[in-house]
Amino acid sequence: MGQLKKIKDITVYKDENYCTFPNAIVLRDGTIMVSFRQAPDWQKEFSDVTHGDPSSIGVYVKSSDNGKTWLSKPGLIYRHFFYGVQDPCLSLLNNGTILSTFFMWKFNERKSTVTDSVKPHFINDNYEMEMMDAHSTRSYDGGETWDNPICIDYAGKNGLRSSVRGNAIELNDGSIILGIAVYDKDMSKRLIRIVKSFNQGKTWEKLADIVHPDGHFMGEPNLFKTKSGKLVCFMRTHVNDPERNVYDDGNNDMSPMHVSYSYGEGKTWTLPEKTKYTSPSPFHALQLKSGNVLMTYGHRYSPYGIKAVLLNEELTDLHDAKEILIRDDGVNVDLGYTSSVQMPNDDVLVTYYIFSKDDTTRYISGTILREE
């Protein structure tokens, strides 16, 4: 087992907007492509930030020199006239097609308005967020153009809506599978559902549901395939406790990462098992050229920052591996959503969003690691 050495932190993209939730891939020619959500920054007007915004769009930037320089103006994945785009994620398929998944929010006015201008009443008080479902879109020319987004629909959906944050897995037969979080109609419950497509995400079928352990609220699944073909679903969880807030510092025990395994190409899944890694943030895994697996996540408890874990190729040491803090200068819980790639020079780029005490503008950042 190798060791991880931190090389440096970099800025991937920063402007006057609220840039969050990155996801990274490496194209066939070695170009690094990082997608993210871009929205207006309302802090000056409302003294707060929000993860829901009808103006949010899905964009991307690229680097052709191992992350040294990046596009100064983001390319567009998708914007909607009326809905806010959330969590654009990328998957590079074997034939070179880029698959992007995202979900959208619709905002409805409440009947009674709030007059306290200190609060971000533009979303949380005077508007309600309605989920408008998960979608997919494809690019056949490296992100220059995208086809019309298609809702992730399937037999047995029964009108339920879903969110998506994570990458698709391409199987040996060219089909892809994806993990989504499915919500009941009043948004009080959700389950993790695995769906499958044989045509690059244009149509889908329900493959399986992952059973929830009692007392846990689970979401933001991310799939990973080991070299042997074993599938792993990493899941963010919250303990259901009305007396405690999962985001309060010190409540690490309320957000243990759970994992579920499939040995039959996603048709059946084991009961999720609790791990020692804790954070109310999604988790990402990357197979390195050495065979080892890098798992990363935003650490949303003090010291706020980004954590990494180096695992063996089948993740059999998941419960014993040591975490390392690769960044500890975060300000609060509003950071993370990691996504990693191994660059053409073999260094690893871990992307995420973060901000500093001196400048509260959220931006897309990265940490370069090297396996030694």
Q: What is the pLDDT of residue 121?
A: 54
Across 137-155, average pLDDT: 97
**pLDDT, tens digit, for every residue of 26-62?**
999 999 999 999 999 988 777 778 888 999 999 999 9
**Where does residue 70 rank: exposed (0-12), middle (13-18), buried (19+ CB within 10 A)?**
buried
Instruction: Report strand pairing: 169-170 vs 161-163.
Output: unpaired
Q: What is the pLDDT of residue 231?
A: 98
Q: Are 318 and 256 in contact (CB under 8 A)?
A: no
Which residues, including other chains, have CB under 8 Å from residue 94's CB and lie 6 or more apart? Answer: 170, 174
316 versus 125: the higher-pLDDT residue is 316
Q: What is the pLDDT of residue 103?
A: 97
Q: What is the pLDDT of residue 113?
A: 66
Across 310-337, average pLDDT: 96
**pLDDT above 70: residue 117:** no
67: left (phi over 0), alpha (psi -120 to 50) or beta: left
| Domains of the chain, CATH where assigned | 38-53+68-325 (2.120.10.10)
Across 121-141, average pLDDT: 84
**pLDDT, tens digit, for every residue of 186-236?**
666 778 999 999 999 999 999 999 988 778 889 999 999 999 999 999 999
β partners of residue 192? 181, 210
Residue 43 φ then ψ, to 5°: -60, -40
Q: What is the pLDDT of residue 351?
A: 98
Instruction: Provide the percentage of residues in the chain whose pLDDT is more than 90.
Output: 82
The CA distance from 234 to 23, in Å, is 16
Quote the pTM value. Answer: 0.95
Instruction: Provide the percentage of residues in the chain whose pLDDT is more than 70.
Output: 95
